[in-house]
A and B are shown apart, each in its own frame.
Chain A
Amino acid sequence: MNFLDIISSLLLFAGTFFAFSGAVGLFRFPDFFTRVHAASLTDSIAAILMIAGLLLQTSFDLNTAKLIFILVFLLITSPTASHALAKSARHGGLLLFTEKPTKQGGTNQDD
């Protein structure tokens, strides 16, 4: 295991940690908006960390480029989705919603 691998795994672990904390937040936070907040923030940071970790695993070829594209894409779409969600929730006058975890899954696919 060389140096790059160690860094990469550290990054990956950090990424999973944030993703996991986001998931916990989704369950534990009291209302809709806080949940979206938890999910979207951790989502972005987890994506960055994980992809960075994966980048270190590649040998800087086509796959590297693909990963970077994916990262860029995620960084554009994921916050937008959260934003759209929150805005339409307010538009619809919704404050408390119990089925949020599933709704999160939905927005990801809609993009």
Chain B
Amino acid sequence: MLEQNLAALPIILPLIAAPLAIILGRTMPIWILATLVSGCASIISLQLLDTVLTTGVISYAVGGWQAPWGIELRIDTANAFVLVAVTAISTLVLLFSKDSIVKEIDCSKHALFYTAHLLCLAGLSGILITGDAFNLFVFLEISSLATYTLVSLARDKRCLTAAFRYLVMGTIGATFILIGVGLLYMKTGTLNMLDLATRIDLYDSSRTINTGLAFIIVGVSIKLALFPLHMWLPPAYTHAPSAVTAFLASTATKVAVYVMVRFIFTIFGASYVFHSMGMETILMLFAIIAIFKCSYTAAMQKNVKSTLAYSSVAQIGYMVLGISLVNVTGLMSGLLHIFNHALMKGALFMAVGAVFYRLGSADISAFKGLGKRMPLTMAAFTLAGLSIIGVPLTVGFISKWYLVTAALEQSHWFIAAAVLGGSLLAVVYIGRILEAAYFQEPDEANVAKISEAPLSMLIPMWILVIANIYFGIDTSFTTEAAQHAAELLFQNGQVMEVKP
């Protein structure tokens, strides 16, 4: 029974666990339930990835109704790969949040926090696994609603305005996606992604499809915080509880990137999007601006969380840049960076969360002198920060390597130079924080309070850090999966690689 239904389980498990959690009512059992469920989901998704890599695409008809009529769950390498990252991060964040939220969320709301987390996980898994364009919208909304809730749980009142802004922008984005899907449906009469893909080819140059593409791209761009549409992200990440930020920063926007990949490559087909519509130029432009503008803004921030939030926007620029290069390596680097960035940002935000736990602040000034007082936390921060910069032997280097290789394959020398230039800015914003931590004396008021973070926070943080280094050295797992996924996506669209 399990074997056959494996594909549906990553959605169903958290989906069922969420109401169960409400019935359980007490925080501790809920935490155990949530962690167990999330852990199971990550094991299942690993299993799924393995299956997909060995035997090929898994298709699962929900309700037994075949594809264009019923809803299909469809797992190929791309979503299995991202799913592994999402579920694994979720599990680690849950481990981390047990202590972390004590300081940041009112006690009475802990149960709701875990429930919302489970709902968010269910939504994200649903987005990843589903093979139906409208079903994707439904799960997008589940995850979004849960996300708004999660963001607004913090004690700082600024989280409220941040969450509201997120809600408005997110809903506009979702509505745009809805409009886009509607236009596609209108023209093709189907909602199933594969079916859409084959039928869209019949109407390639139709103005309706063009508009549909534009709306979907804009809608998804809001969700993934691509440059001019990123305004919701920094405040939301800055003011949300750290555990939430760690989870969202490493999963939510990444899933949105996946959605963009899915729409562009599987549904519309790369040659249509890029050749006929010239989308790559626009995406590339915004990605490059995102990298520079947001890295620069990140270096200007006083708050470490908002530095990292801006850095996230910049890093999303790298992913979109990879997509916009229109070759297997570029797409692969994008997918790879989804995974890798999840590892680094997860670790970084956890470290910040640990600091927040001890000091109640995430300002740079709070980091002064922490190198001595919270050595393990700051060591984790340092290593993950190096990974963001793209220092060799970390995952950041790997994704950057492939991205630049892809740019050079397409003879975009300037893009390659820009990518590397962008990482210099990362040196600046990470360097500022490290300098405060290692070379400045702590403020008098803080000295007494500082000691190392509790183990329950250090362990997940260090698991991520070690993963950062492990996957930076033994890249066979990640690159193979990403490579396979990228190749598959290019084949799916039945188009050859676009050569310059």
Chains A and B share a contact (CB less than 8 Å): no
B interface list, Cβ under 8 A from A:
none
